[in-house]
């Protein structure tokens, strides 16, 4: 083995040994700790959602800042329960009607920012689970907070008359900051709807009672705000991430 003196005689310099200073070690430790904590939280939330939903309990996320509460809906839930309050036969639906073990019913407000945050996730789930999950939409416009929500829901119902609900649903959430009547009519044209029939439907308030029936059904079923989901009849409130949804769906398939 060549010692240090021989290296000096041969005029060979040893490559410097780089040692990590204390600050670098601490930064790496913190990054790893945060990553580990995030994994634990995501895993715990998914398990917690599943256990509560499976047992019939409510999952409330009021403290996470991803839920709009309706002032009128507080304290009006019925002491009894009817499945029709959640899954009305005429409600817009997507996915298989047969061999479906999971039904996800969403109560949403087209002007609610948290309903919009959920929009992309739900559309992605529709793409990946079209054959094994049934998705149902129910209107829950919180008009006292979102002044354009009610008319937007009526417009979506008018689109549903022409078999274009989901295309119009996309338009509303993609353009949430522009929901005046003129905008609603423009989106109908862009979505390929017959403008004259759509405009007459919207101007005539054809679906006002239907939308308000959705709202009342939601209140009686215990909906306090948006977004609210019912997974096989069990309530889950607030924005849920795609990984959490995927794990819940996997659990319910078992």
pLDDT, tens only, 131-151: 889 999 999 999 999 999 999
State yes or no: pLDDT of 197 exceeds 50.
Answer: yes
Q: Which of 46-60, 74-88, 232-246 has the highest mean pLDDT?
A: 232-246
State yes or no: pLDDT of 216 exceeds 80.
Answer: yes
Residue 109 confidence (pLDDT): 98
Residue 93 contacts by C-beta under 8 Å, 6 or more apart in sequence?
A: 134, 135, 136, 137
Residue 195 confidence (pLDDT): 97
Q: Domains in the chain, start-ordered, CATH in brackets? A: 58-253 (3.40.30.10)
Residue 58 confidence (pLDDT): 43
State yes or no: pLDDT of 56 exceeds 70.
Answer: no
Residue 57 confidence (pLDDT): 44
CA neighbor of 166 nearest in space, from 90, 93, 241: 93
């Amino acid at each position: 083995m060549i010692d240090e003196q021989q290296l000096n005689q041969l005029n060979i310099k040893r490559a410097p040994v780089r040692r990590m200073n204390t600050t670098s070690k601490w930064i790496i430790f913190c990054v790893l700790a945060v990553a580990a904590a995030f994994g634990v939280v995501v895993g715990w939330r998914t398990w917690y959602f599943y256990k509560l939903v499976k047992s019939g309990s409510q999952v409330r996320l009021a403290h996470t800042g991803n839920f709009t509460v309706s002032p009128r809906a507080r304290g009006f839930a019925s002491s009894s329960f009817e499945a029709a309050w959640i899954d009305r036969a005429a409600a817009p639906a997507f996915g298989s009607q047969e061999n479906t073990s999971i039904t996800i019913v969403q109560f949403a407000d087209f002007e609610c920012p948290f309903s919009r945050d959920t929009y992309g996730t739900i559309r992605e789930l529709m793409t990946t689970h079209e054959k094994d999950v049934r998705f149902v939409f129910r209107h829950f416009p919180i008009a006292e907070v979102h002044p354009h929500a009610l008319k937007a829901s009526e417009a979506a119902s008018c689109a549903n008359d022409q078999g274009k609900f989901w295309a119009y649903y996309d338009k509303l959430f993609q353009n949430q900051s522009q929901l005046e009547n003129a905008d609603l009519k423009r989106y109908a044209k862009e979505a390929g709807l017959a403008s004259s029939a759509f405009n007459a439907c919207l101007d005539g308030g054809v679906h006002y009672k239907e939308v308000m029936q959705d709202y009342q059904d939601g209140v009686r079923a215990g909906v306090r705000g948006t977004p609210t989901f019912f997974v096989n009849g069990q309530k889950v409130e607030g924005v849920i991430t795609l990984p959490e949804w995927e794990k819940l769906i996997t659990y319910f398939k078992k």
